[in-house]
Chains A and B, each alone.
Chain A
């Protein structure tokens, strides 16, 4: 009885820690608010208030943001949250955060289901403090929702393999299907997972086929829109756009100035090697345990996916699992094998977001590894081991939190679009302002003005309608760059020409307008400078007198 209480206390403490790490100060940490987050939040707001997305499309199957398309589930679930809490960073990020918390629960259950309670607890511990999971649970990332749906679907699939019940089958396949409505990676991984799983358990399923017909039909119906979407520009454009097959660049190892033959510049060999190198990079200890994502926006100072000291546990866990794996262990390996596939067919190296699915099975295997070592020790060493493990986790978490909440918030401020909130608030409070032009050649700032300005969607829909017919929404993947909200314009400013336009307010990002350009000029009044946390200019706002 006492033992049960102890483990339960540990579980509660770990959950508590996980919840705090994912929810505390959610609205203001990360300090910036990235444009993709703003797009998710504003579209949710738009759906909630008008039933249309930011472009005025009624309840779309796929949302358009800049030149990319994203899947709809995050927006539709966030819509009531935004309706309830109001449009803010907090309400936009809340679903991802809650998904992260739910993942903690399911990871524990998976560990417990496949092996035992202790493995579940260790897996929970690893996930609760994992840099990658905290990071993606604290931003509005639809991929994190998809990951949770996949993880929970996996858990119910294990349940189904155990009890062969219609309910488990339906819940599992429903969750898997919903994950495909959340993020692009799952659209590739779920069908492949289903195929490989069927090859493993097909015979067992056949035995209970009659039970499964009705739920399977329901799932097929649920998937019809997604299948329909796969043949539309909005459904495939993103996948094609980032794939390395669509790039003109020569593969690594290509020798310029030489023709192609069987040995030199053999494209099949070189492309195959390139694909394999990208795929292998997602299992590379250097990337997983030390270096992290190649993009500053998706990485934390001095941290990677997992803490460096966990590598030995991954090896221990993996070594145990691959020795005559039982069916659930095989499924974990299938999950791990498929996880990096979507990311590795893109040309970017080690993209943690596109490969999120990989890190959950790794977490579970690390948890298993911690338990395997624990099991092999005698009682005295067990205590020493647990004390050492706790110390390792506490120290790593302590430094992670410093790097995440202090250092990265300074060094990554620009990557996280820091300063827009202040900018929009400032512009909006200016009395009787005339035309405002934001120097933004790629017109990425408009979504931040919609979001922080809480621009009512119906007002904005009138304006966006001027861009053209919505027919192109699913058909034409070419970029749509909204460049106007009322008297706000988003475009490149021709400074020499426009510095004479009386009354106009001009906004420049970063240090694109040096002081020497306007200091001493009585016609240009510096209204305000918005600074990054390191004191550098985020925005310079001037008015022409």
Chain B
């Protein structure tokens, strides 16, 4: 009896261990740096909850808790809908080790809350959902069509410039009046929305950090492991028809939602991960149950394990950030350094080229007023008041017109550098300095 109880709960205990470790370990420091959104949230909560809330770990705690609970909710929901304990465990297990969900559970994210709420209500209404399984795919497809048409209509006002540009090209070959038939707002808006829709249908985005055609301006994070690919393929082919239709319809619905709201980033598109893990879970479960395919099952499990360790070793060493990461890893150190170096009542002049420095200084110094601080774009040589502590920037490849530019790649003689740090995100160096004493 004892053994059977243990074997019943052991998978859940393992799931809990993996989930809690990957969601809560070093939560305050990994990922390094806060995003503007996280810092702003902290600052807006501080007046009500007190300054203690200005701590990265507390800003991220809600996401980590909700992300963890989502995994267990998924487990119970799939179990209830499919009445297949192994499938529900496989799906929840895959979700718990998925880089996409791990990363999004470790930053402040509204989407995590939305997902949790949806799963929660899905679980509560699971009996009703079960009875609606035939109707739901049609409902979601119809809704998707409506959303897509709405997206086209909404974008009408945004595409004028593109239409004009296209007409200017076409006019080199056909009369201007004729161009209207081909290049117009309806066609362009349709095309724009189709582009947005298809952007989320790129395998590279989900399995290869965007490679080989990375998107400009979008954070391309590690989302799903390569070993998910065969699991998803097997899952799709082996899924029961009604479940395949439902998941397909929900997938299309989510894509049209992303299209409508022009969402492109990994946070906003996170709901898609649930479709992937359920299908992959189905694939894993199929291999698990089929005795003939045990070799494939174990090979995939080993690969999955390797990729999981590989991802975690990189992620928890802070090596997985992408070029377009919204997090600003440099601020915590700069703010700390300024706090140390600043003399009593000394003025601090922070260059706005650091990108929204005020909010980050307020957050890390736990001080909304920042008395004596001034934030603006400045040229140190034009500043009247030289008795100040300067926080300034110099791009990695500076032009000679830059304030801190020197021919020999050093530092201007009249200034005393006190501290420097590389800001990889903006490809610039940040300096803290004072005027040299004569």
Contacts and interface: CB of A to CB of B under 8 A. Distances in A.
Interface of A: 252-253, 255, 258, 263-264, 266, 269, 273-274, 276-278, 280-281, 283-287, 289-291, 294, 302, 308, 311, 322-323, 349-350, 399, 402, 406-407, 409-411, 533-535
Given A263-B310, A402-B182, A280 B203 contact: yes
Contacts of A264: 313-314, 317, 319
Contacts of A253: 209, 211
A431 B354 CA distance: 64
A287 B319 contact: no
Interface string B194-226: 110011011110011101110000000000001
B207 to A, nearest CB: 7
Contacts of A535: 172
Given A266-B310, A281-B203, A323-B237, 10 more contacts: A252-B211, A253-B211, A264-B319, A274-B212, A276-B207, A276-B229, A308-B198, A349-B212, A411-B169, A533-B173
B251 to A, nearest CB: 11
A281 B314 CA distance: 25
B125 interface: no
B213 A291 contact: yes
Given A255-B319, A290-B195, A410-B169, A280 B182 contact: no
Given A263-B313, A289-B198, A252 B209 contact: yes
A285 B200 CA distance: 9
A409 B187 CA distance: 20
A220 to B, nearest CB: 37
Given A253-B209, A276-B208, A284 B313 contact: no
B232 to A, nearest CB: 12
A277 B208 contact: yes
Contacts, number: 99
The 8 A-B pairs with the shortest beta carbon distances in the complex, nearest first, are A349-B212, A277-B208, A286-B202, A290-B198, A285-B201, A263-B313, A402-B182, A280-B203
B310 A410 contact: no
Interface string B42-63: 0000000000000000000000
A322 B226 CA distance: 22
A274 B211 contact: yes
Nearest to A266: B310
Contact of B173 (A274, A276, A409): A409
Nearest to B319: A255
26 contacts: A252-B211, A253-B209, A255-B314, A263-B309, A263-B313, A278-B212, A280-B203, A281-B202, A281-B203, A281-B204, A283-B203, A285-B201, A285-B202, A286-B198, A286-B199, A286-B201, A287-B202, A308-B194, A322-B237, A350-B212, A402-B170, A410-B169, A533-B172, A533-B173, A534-B172, A535-B172
Contact of B208 (A252, A269, A291): A252
A280 B306 CA distance: 21
Interface string B270-314: 000000000000000000000000000000000000100110011
Nearest to A315: B248
B158 interface: no
B210 to A, nearest CB: 9
A277 B173 CA distance: 39
A280 B198 contact: no
Contacts of B191: 302
Q: Chain B contact residues: over half helix, strand or loop, or mixed?
A: helix
Contacts of B169: 407, 410-411, 534
A56 B169 CA distance: 43
B213 A349 contact: yes
Given A349-B212, A534-B172, A280 B204 contact: yes
Nearest to A261: B313
B140 to A, nearest CB: 14
A410 B202 CA distance: 29
Q: Chain A contact residues: over half helix, strand or loop, or mixed?
A: helix
Nearest to B190: A308
A266 B313 CA distance: 12
Contacts of B202: 281, 284-287
Nearest to B196: A290
B226 A276 contact: yes
Contacts of B226: 273, 276
A402 B180 CA distance: 12
Interface string B309-346: 11001100101000000000000000000000000000
B164 interface: no
B166 interface: yes
A350 B213 contact: yes
B172 A280 contact: no
B1 interface: no
- Which of A269, A286, A302 is most buried by chain B, counting CB atoms within 10 A of its CB? A286
B212 A281 contact: yes
Contacts of A411: 169
Contact of A280 (B194, B208, B314): B208
Contacts of A278: 212
B174 interface: yes
A252 B320 CA distance: 12
B213 A406 contact: no
B182 A399 contact: yes
A407 B165 CA distance: 11
A311 B209 CA distance: 24
B187 A399 contact: yes
B208 A407 contact: no
Contact of B212 (A277, A302, A406): A277
Given A281-B212, A294-B213, A406 B170 contact: yes
Interface in B246-268: none
A507 B317 CA distance: 57
A274 B174 CA distance: 44
B173 A410 contact: yes
B173 to A, nearest CB: 5
Nearest to B225: A273
Contacts of B209: 252-253
A274 B169 CA distance: 37
Contact of A407 (B170, B212, B237, B314): B170
Given A285-B202, A291-B198, A406 B208 contact: no
B208 A273 contact: yes
Contacts of B170: 402, 406-407, 410
A269 B227 CA distance: 12
A406 B168 CA distance: 12
A311 B202 CA distance: 13
Nearest to A533: B172
A252 B322 CA distance: 12
Contacts of B306: 269
Contacts of A283: 203
A409 B169 CA distance: 10
A252 B207 CA distance: 12
Contacts of B317: 264
B112 to A, nearest CB: 26
Nearest to A294: B213
Contacts of A302: 191
A533 B174 CA distance: 11
A529 B242 CA distance: 66
Contacts of A258: 319
Contacts of A308: 194, 198
Nearest to A255: B319
Contacts of A289: 198, 201
Contacts of B207: 276-277, 280
B183 to A, nearest CB: 8
Contacts of B310: 263, 266, 269
Interface in B160-186: 166, 169-170, 172-174, 182
A534 B167 CA distance: 12
Contacts of A269: 306, 310
